Amino acid sequence: MKVAVGIFSTPVWTLDRKYVTELRQQFPQIEFAQAFSASELEAMIADADVAFSSMVRDSTFAHARRLRWIHSSAAGVGASLFPALVESDVILTNSRGVQSASIAEHVLALTLAWRRGIHTAVRRQTARQWAQNELATLSPPRFAQTRALIVGMGSIGKETAALFERLGMHVDGLGRRARDGRPGIDSLPRLLPDADVAVITAPHTSETEHLFDRAMLARMKPGSLLVNIGRGRIIDEAALVEALAQGRPGGAALDVFDREPLSADSPLWAMENAIITPHVAGFGPRFWEGLVDLFAANLRRWLDGQPLENVVDKQRGY
């Protein structure tokens, strides 16, 4: 049996060789081949039974002759859902849940920074300006008077809701469909105008593509905050730039973008009411260990003929 490991991109998104060495020690009966480029992955996947990778694309998949399972090192699998894979019998699992706590804490940090004007204070610090008068005018409501709307109630959404609720915030959460008393995403236009903070944690699917378009953004409360740690393509970025200039929403805290890295000529960089972090919300203690441990646990299930965890519904996209 052979496992092709292909987790490579920028340095921070590349799996260190030591983790593959540990997998070899845990599973001496399995051959592990590690790729660091698309061409290497294409060659290694040809005779692999399993792929531990978020980099399998249509062109790579075309080389696979006996592949039966792909475990993505990412939670979002939109780029992996090309027609050939969706129509095949190959199982796709993802790494949802591993990063949820770190991402929820990042959302909280962004929300608190916005409420207290920390982003403005840092800009004024860089300019050596004493902004006491400017920052003293901020008067955010108490948490008990703050309403948050979380769009996407998977593991990240639930973790975020729990943190917000501990602070006394009122939290509404939207799932894909209405279920168990929780509204579905079709309730977004109704609930969004009352939200002081709207957090996008949903996956990118055909249903959520540009969900926050010009019309939806116009429904946001003046002075409210839009946080996106889901996928960049859920927001129409051009429409967001226009909306921020008009104050609806009052601010945006973004960790994901339509194209990454965010272009240096994007107006978002210079906007006073935008907080930008470079797709780092998921990083935290034992980030790689958590991903590898999840794959190893699933691999044991695979070998034992047990059901796998985090199986993706390839038709729904998550």
Indicate which residue of 260, 286, 289, 300 is catalytic.
260
CA angle (56 as vertex; 53, 61 as ends), nearest 5: 130
Taken in order 311, 316, 317, 318, is the CA torsion positive or negative? negative
* 231 given a catalytic annotation: yes
Q: Which of 71, 204, 219, 231 is catalytic?
A: 231
* 260 is an active site residue: yes
Active-site residue, 142 included: no
Q: Are 59 and 13 in contact (CB under 8 A)?
A: no
Q: State whether residue 315 is helix, strand or coil.
A: coil
Contact present, 48 and 63 (Cβ < 8 Å): no
Q: Which two tokens stand for residue 299?
A: 């691999």
With beta carbons less than 8 A apart as the criterion, state whether 315 and 86 touch. yes
Residue with tokens 């960089």: 269
- Residue by residue, DSSP assigns 108-155 as HHHHHHHHTTHHHHHHHHHTT---HHHHHT--PPPGGG-EEEEE--SH
Could you give the residue numbers annotated as active site?
Answer: 231, 260, 279
